[in-house]
Amino acid sequence: DADVTQTPRNRITKTGKRIMLECSQTKGHDRMYWYRQDPGLGLRLIYYSFDVKDINKGEISDGYSVSRQAQAKFSLSLESAIPNQTALYFCATSDPNSGSYEQYFGPGTRLTVT
Amino acid sequence: EDQVTQSPEALRLQEGESSSLNCSYTVSGLRGLFWYRQDPGKGPEFLFTLYSAGEEKEKERLKATLTKKESFLHITAPKPEDSATYLCAARSGGATNKLIFGTGTLLAVQP
């Protein structure tokens, strides 16, 4: 079974709709992240959470919100989707106690806003 | 401003033709340089972490090296299954553990 799962894997929605992307992990990691990936721009950080009570904005948080429901669950919401939010979205986790700081990624959600 | 630049953007090799991918970084107080492999439609898969200039790490046909300004991913005698996008990322000093990603090198290995 995958350690980091994301649902849905693909989603097409219309401009103005609210949409939620979900991430679950079984790695037991405290830290979780949401990124978006666009061609030519690489991975950019949207939000990150160091534990259930600690949530922080990344470099491109406008238009997004997050919820950390439990250590294992971190959701990303688009309150009112717009076409330029069409992208690949990835959730990632890391373990601060490992000392190595690498992040482990889920399989991604391909979101299309029409 | 912290920045990571990868070159080339795309590389096509014949099976068995060794080559290197470059990752140049400008970050304040590097706290780790990471390499990932990404297959189409999948999330990045962690390969290596390098921490200090002169450090090297190997895995099968891949070897990553680090200097004070750049990192190289050397691919020796590649096979078609090595075809993927290779991403590098740098972690700068501070407690946030934020990674700054490059845009990747798309590698195609032809049989």
Per-residue pLDDT of A72-97, as tens digits, reads 999 999 999 999 999 999 999 998 78
Q: Reply yes or no on whether the pLDDT at A1 is more than 70.
A: no
Nearest to B42 among A101, A104, A107 (CB): A107
Verify whether the Cβ–Cβ distance B45 to A105 is below 8 Å: yes
Per-residue pLDDT of A55-70, as tens digits, reads 999 999 999 999 999 9
Question: pLDDT value at position B34?
Answer: 96
**Minimum Cα–Cα distance from B50: chain A residue:** A100
Mean pLDDT, rounded, for A3-14: 96
Q: How far is CA A86 from CA A19, A61, A78, A81, A89, in A?
A: 12, 15, 11, 9, 9
Question: pLDDT value at position B98?
Answer: 83
Q: Reply yes or no on whether the pLDDT at B15 is more than 70.
A: yes
Per-residue pLDDT of A23-49, as tens digits, reads 999 999 999 999 999 988 889 999 999
Alpha-carbon torsion (B14, B9, B41, B75), positive or negative: positive
Mean pLDDT for chain A overall: 94
Q: How far is CA A114 from CA A82, A83, A88, in A?
A: 8, 6, 15
Asked if B28 has any chain A CB less than 8 Å from its own CB, the reply is no
Per-residue pLDDT band at B29 (split at 50, 70, 90): confident
